[in-house]
């Protein structure tokens, strides 16, 4: 009786574990955060360029700006926490400054 349920049981466990694992997978280490900040800086730069040429709507640029700011505040949070080494903190600050500058450039493209 048990043997017949085992394939479905196994799959269930796999699905459950995968879901749980993905929920628990939050990242959080500094190098990953730096990459994220740099990625968002590039995104905001591209958005500023697109905005300048009128490729995208202001409404859409606002949404990207919000997402960029969210990424920045998450980066800042990690930078000011005591989970990072001083060297990591420096790199994080530089990456954060890059994103902040990009956001400012996007702001200057106007509404």
Residue from 32, 83, 85, 94 that binds another protein (CB under 8 A)? 32
DSSP state, 28? -
82 binds another protein (CB under 8 A): no
Q: What is the rounded distance in angstroms from the CA atom of residue 25 to the CA atom of residue 97?
A: 27
Burial of 102 (0-12, 13-18, 19+ CB in 10 A): buried
Residue from 31, 33, 39, 87 that binds another protein (CB under 8 A)? 39
18 binds another protein (CB under 8 A): yes
Alpha helices per DSSP H over 25-85: 30-52, 58-80
52 binds another protein (CB under 8 A): no
DSSP state, 93? H
Q: Could you list the residues that contact another protein (CB under 8 A)? A: 1, 3-5, 7-8, 11, 14-15, 17-19, 21-22, 25-27, 32, 35-36, 38-40, 42-43, 45-47, 50, 53-57, 59-60, 62-64, 67, 71
């Amino acid at each position: 009786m048990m043997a017949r349920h085992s394939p479905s049981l196994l799959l269930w466990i796999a699905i459950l574990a995968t879901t749980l694992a993905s929920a628990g997978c939050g990242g959080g280490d500094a190098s990953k955060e730096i990459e994220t900040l740099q990625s968002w800086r590039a995104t905001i730069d591209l958005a500023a360029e697109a905005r300048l040429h009128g490729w995208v709507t202001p409404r859409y640029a606002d949404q990207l700006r919000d997402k960029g700011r969210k990424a920045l505040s998450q980066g800042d949070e990690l930078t000011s926490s005591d989970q990072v080494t001083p060297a990591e903190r420096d790199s994080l600050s530089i990456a954060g400054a890059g994103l902040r500058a990009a956001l400012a450039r996007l702001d200057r493209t106007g509404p």
